Structure 1
Amino acid sequence: MTFFKLYPKKEDLLIYYMRVWLTEQIIAIDRAGLRGFEVVRHLLQGVARESAHRPGMMPSLISFLSEMKMHPRMPELSEAEVRLLFPGQEEQGRVSPNLFLVFLHAMQEAEQEGKLRTEVTVDEAVKVLFTIFYGSFLTAQQFASADIYGFYELHLRLIERS
């Protein structure tokens, strides 16, 4: 069996990549005990780092998601994949990640900590975070900037209390 028989379409591989990457991020967030905007910054720093190593991955993912008009359901991993990809973290590795829930919990924590702007609801903040996650990346590319994280920070200031 070849790799391309498992993932006959590029889109399948993109979703698999996102599943693994997001699970790794969630495990790191939990290990570090991050909360609120720290969680969001961790994810955005991860995107910026990954884009430096794999420059075409995020644009391909954004293009695919815009065609789907929805966030894809993450694939389940086999027990062997979980053990290989997340040694010592198998329980968390088995859970299919949900970016919406990550953003929701982070913004609930930010609100509790008084770090979310008072005029922004948690629901609005979650929507804005999706816009920031994908849109700020595209904006950085539009301006031919290598400082992707700088664009993320610029946009986070719109919802974070200083």
Structure 2
Amino acid sequence: MKPTKRELTTASNKQAILKALLERMQKEEFNEIKISDLCEQASISQASFYNYFPQKTDILLYYIQLWLVEMFWVNTVSRKLSGLEAIERLFEDMAEVCIAQPKLLTEIISLQVRTKKLNHLNSLSIADKQVAFPNYECVDKIVVEDLGALLLLNIQQAIRNEELPMNSDVTTLIVALSSIFFSVPILFSQGTLAEIKTAYKNQLNLIMHGAVTSSSQVIKLNK
């Protein structure tokens, strides 16, 4: 269904607020950023802001939702990756975020620890996805509710590709991978991009080698 003009305007306004937040977080702490300043920069009234984001932290949730959709599209459609390759690339892309937006990622991880909200995100609208990624063909059809959902898709692909055993404990793998996803940025908060990528790769190898139950199967992530 094609989004209405109002829905497209709402998505544009939400993303203007998100852009304002990302710019300010390059220099300011999240808790110090005023909603009034975000509204002024985005040219949006405070009343409209609260219609879009009941709490300031909801902007962080909006960011991670858009990022997950983008990662799915880029890895699956553009790079044509699946299974373990897609998982590894997802973590490499997260390493890029660690360097580009360290304060943002810290706040997202903190929010996850405090509230577990990242496990219960509201769905993005078609307008949200089309406005954010106008050149991504069929991006509106992508549904990725949270990190666990994206990891589930990739793990299932890895099993179909025979990269992981058929009897793999999918739930345990999702928990382990999610733990790595959020813990490495904390442990390497002052690290370089190469150090963060290496840490992710090493942890992923440990998890994936442990997931293989047959001694004849060896999982090696791309170097």
Q: One fold, TM greater than 0.5?
A: yes
**Residues 129 and 20 of structure 1: CA distance in aligned 2, closer, same or farther (over 3 Å):** same
TM-score by length of 1: 0.82
User: Tell me, which stretches of 5 or more residues in structure 2 are unaligned?
Assistant: 1-42, 209-218
Shift of the 117–82 alpha-carbon distance from structure 1 to 2, 3 Å rule, reads: closer
By relative contact order (CA 8 Å, sep 6+), the higher-ranking structure is 1
Q: Which amino acid aligns with 1:39?
A: A
Alignment-derived partner of residue 71 in structure 2: 25
1:35 maps to 2:77:
no
Deviation at 1:39, TM superposition (A): 1.2
Q: Which amino acid aligns with 1:156?
A: L
Counterpart of 1:112, as a letter, is R
Instruction: Classify 1:91/1:114 alpha carbon distance in 2 versus 1 (closer, same or farther; 3 Å).
Output: closer
Instruction: Specify the alignment match of 2:158 in structure 1.
Output: 110
1:140/1:110 CA distance change after superposition, 3 Å: same
Among 9, 12, 15, the residue aligned to 2:61: 15
The separation in 2 between residues aligned to 1:7 and 1:69, in whole angstroms, is: 18
Matches within 5 A, 1:6-155: 6-7=52-53, 9-31=55-77, 32-70=79-117, 71-77=119-125, 79=127, 81-89=128-136, 91-93=138-140, 95-98=142-145, 99-116=147-164, 121-141=169-189, 144-146=190-192, 147-155=195-203
Where structure 1 has 5 or more consecutive residues not aligned to the other structure, the ranges are none
**How many Å separate the matches in 2 of 1:102 and 1:78?**
18
**Post-superposition offset of 1:94:** 5.3
Which AA in structure 1 matches 2:110?
S
Q: More displaced, 81-90 or 63-72? A: 81-90
Q: 1:82 to 1:113 in 2, by over 3 A?
A: closer
**What is the aligned counterpart of 1:159 among 200, 207, 213?**
207
Query: What is the distance in 2 between the residues matched to 1:59 and 1:86?
Result: 25
- Percent sequence identity over aligned pairs: 22
Following the alignment from structure 1 to structure 2, what is the Cα–Cα distance between the partners of residues 118 and 129? 18
Q: Deviations over 1:84-123 (max 9, x none)?
A: 2121436423544232222112112223334337995233
Alpha-carbon distance in structure 1 between the residues aligned to 2:99 and 2:89: 16
Q: Which AA in structure 2 matches 1:54?
A: Q
